[in-house]
């Protein structure tokens, strides 16, 4: 996600959700996971900055291509919204394959597409957002075009999995009358998201994983803006929980309508709260991070003023910070999230014979 939009939407949305949450709780079902994919060879990625590995144009105007982004890995800016690796890199390593090439950096060579392609673009959403960039439908269109051009074949897709991230940019770009149509807005997002998942599967990808939203109220940007820092904002987390409950109902319905239950949820909400040891009262507990909601890169990370002076400050050691900037985990933060997710991943993907080590 990209820090550009005010927080009024979060605060207003939360006031409308208590009743909706209780209603959603009464209709939850447990899906049957019958599908196992043997030895996936490719990973196709769609979504936003939590998965983007370099799709923003590599110019000085693009923050993920400026220092200090990428300082931990690969040692210089690489287009990732972190000091190092992001979720895509860890999922690819789990699958035992290389991290897929960013689509905008792909030059058409065969070797670079062997592990799939990454279409995720920071700041985008299911629908158009203030940030611009290709929304999720457009990203899926890119893969469709590659199929039509025989860059990939249907057979290629049958040995692949898809990762879809949706971490809140649609909500941050919302500008309608939220007091009257909040339920309809959440339903419109999750409905379109379910259509996207179905489309990816119908293109030939046998397993499609989508992220549940992380606890938005625990992002430093939100915690600071709402005055709740060093704790999370419960009102904003209500938005996340309502979205995730609606998403689960959509995914359950898709699986009930599709042979093999090919759709799965990667529970970022649970993984973030585990990594940060978030309690029910929204207070981060003891974890490996001394100040869980404090970003390592504080201020306008990557920005400099007209005189060349940095508009940010850096912590002493990114490994001690869960968050890299005001909205994105550090590499160590993503490793903590991955560690929390890892026990559930065999239910989401077939475990490869050998996981690719992350060093």
Model confidence pLDDT, tens digit, residues 142-154: 999 999 999 999 9
Residue of 78, 89, 325, 330 with catalytic role? 325
Q: Are 296 and 315 in contact (CB under 8 A)?
A: yes
β-bridge partners, 173? none
Model confidence pLDDT, tens digit, residues 50-63: 999 999 999 878 99
Q: Who has greater pLDDT, 18 or 266? A: 266
**Hey, what are 344's tokens?**
């559930």
Model confidence pLDDT, tens digit, residues 30-45: 333 333 445 789 999 9
**CB proximity list for 319: less than 8 A, separation 6 or greater:** 72, 330, 331, 332
The HSE-up count of residue 291 (CA atoms within 13 Å, CB side) is 13
Q: What is the pLDDT of residue 37?
A: 46
Tokens 């860059």 — which residue?
A: 151
Determine the average pLDDT of the residues in 193-210: 97
8-18+37-286 belongs to which CATH class?
Answer: alpha beta
* Residue 282 confidence (pLDDT) above 80: no
Is residue 179 part of the annotated active site? The answer reads no
Q: Indicate the range of 57-61, 86-90, 299-303, 325-329 predicted with least confidence.
A: 57-61
Q: What is the pLDDT of residue 133?
A: 95
Q: What is the pLDDT of residue 239?
A: 87
- In angstroms, the CA 298 to CA 220 distance is 10
- In angstroms, the CA 189 to CA 166 distance is 10
Model confidence pLDDT, tens digit, residues 89-128: 999 999 999 999 999 999 999 999 999 999 999 999 999 9
**CB proximity list for 134: less than 8 A, separation 6 or greater:** 119, 121, 124, 142
Model confidence pLDDT, tens digit, residues 78-93: 999 999 999 999 999 9
Quick one: what percent of the chain has pLDDT higher than 70?
A: 84
Model confidence pLDDT, tens digit, residues 243-277: 999 999 999 999 999 999 999 999 999 999 999 99
Nearest to 347 by CA among 272, 264, 281: 264
Q: Are strands 310-314 and 297-304 parallel, antiparallel or unpaired?
A: antiparallel
Query: Would the pTM count as exceeding 0.75?
Result: yes
- In angstroms, the CA 60 to CA 172 distance is 25
Residue ranges covered by each domain of the chain: 8-18+37-286
Q: What is the pLDDT of residue 335?
A: 97
Residue of 173, 233, 252, 328 with catalytic role? 328
Tokens 């759709």 — which residue?
A: 263
Q: What is the pLDDT of residue 211?
A: 98
Is residue 128 part of the annotated active site? The answer reads no
Quick one: what percent of the chain has pLDDT higher than 90?
A: 74
Determine the average pLDDT of the residues in 193-204: 98
Nearest to 80 by CA among 53, 119, 46, 117: 53
Nearest to 186 by CA among 119, 100, 126, 107: 126
pLDDT band at 294 (very low <50, low <70, confident <90, very high): very high
Residue of 49, 82, 194, 330 with catalytic role? 49
pLDDT band at 10 (very low <50, low <70, confident <90, very high): very low
Mean pLDDT of the chain: 87
Is residue 259 part of the annotated active site? The answer reads no
């Amino acid at each position: 996600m990209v820090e550009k939009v005010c927080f009024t939407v979060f605060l207003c949305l939360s006031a409308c959700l208590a009743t909706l949450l209780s209603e959603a709780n009464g209709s939850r079902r447990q899906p049957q996971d019958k599908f196992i994919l043997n030895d996936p060879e490719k990973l196709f990625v769609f979504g936003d900055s939590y998965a983007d590995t370099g799709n923003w144009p590599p110019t000085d105007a693009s923050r993920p291509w400026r220092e200090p982004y990428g300082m931990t890995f690969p040692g210089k800016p690489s287009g990732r919204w972190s000091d190092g690796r992001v979720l895509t890199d860890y999922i690819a390593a789990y699958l035992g394959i290389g991290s897929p090439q960013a689509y905008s950096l792909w030059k058409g060579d065969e070797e670079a597409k062997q592990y799939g392609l990454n279409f995720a673009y920071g700041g985008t959403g299911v629908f158009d957002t203030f940030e611009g960039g290709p929304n999720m439908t457009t990203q899926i269109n890119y893969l469709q075009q590659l199929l039509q051009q025989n860059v990939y074949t249907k057979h290629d897709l049958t040995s692949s999995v898809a990762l879809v991230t949706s971490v809140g940019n649609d909500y941050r770009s919302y500008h309608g009358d939220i007091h009257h149509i909040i339920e309809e807005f959440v339903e419109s997002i999750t409905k379109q998201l379910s259509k996207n998942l179905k489309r990816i599967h119908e293109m030939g990808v046998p397993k499609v994983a989508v992220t549940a939203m992380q606890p938005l109220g625990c992002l430093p940007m939100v915690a600071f803006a709402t005055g709740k820092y060093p704790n999370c904002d419960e009102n904003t987390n209500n938005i996340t929980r309502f979205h995730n409950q609606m998403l689960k109902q959509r995914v359950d319905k898709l699986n009930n309508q599709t042979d093999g239950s090919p759709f799965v949820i990667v529970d970022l909400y649970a993984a973030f709260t585990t990594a940060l040891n978030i309690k029910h009262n929204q207070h981060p507990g003891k974890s490996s991070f001394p100040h869980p909601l404090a970003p390592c890169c504080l201020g306008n990370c990557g920005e400099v003023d007209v005189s060349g002076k940095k508009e940010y400050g850096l912590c002493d050691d990114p490994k001690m910070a869960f968050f890299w900037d005001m909205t994105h985990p550090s590499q160590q933060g993503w490793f903590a999230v991955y560690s929390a997710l890892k026990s559930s991943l065999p239910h989401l993907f077939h475990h490869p014979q050998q996981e690719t080590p992350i060093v």
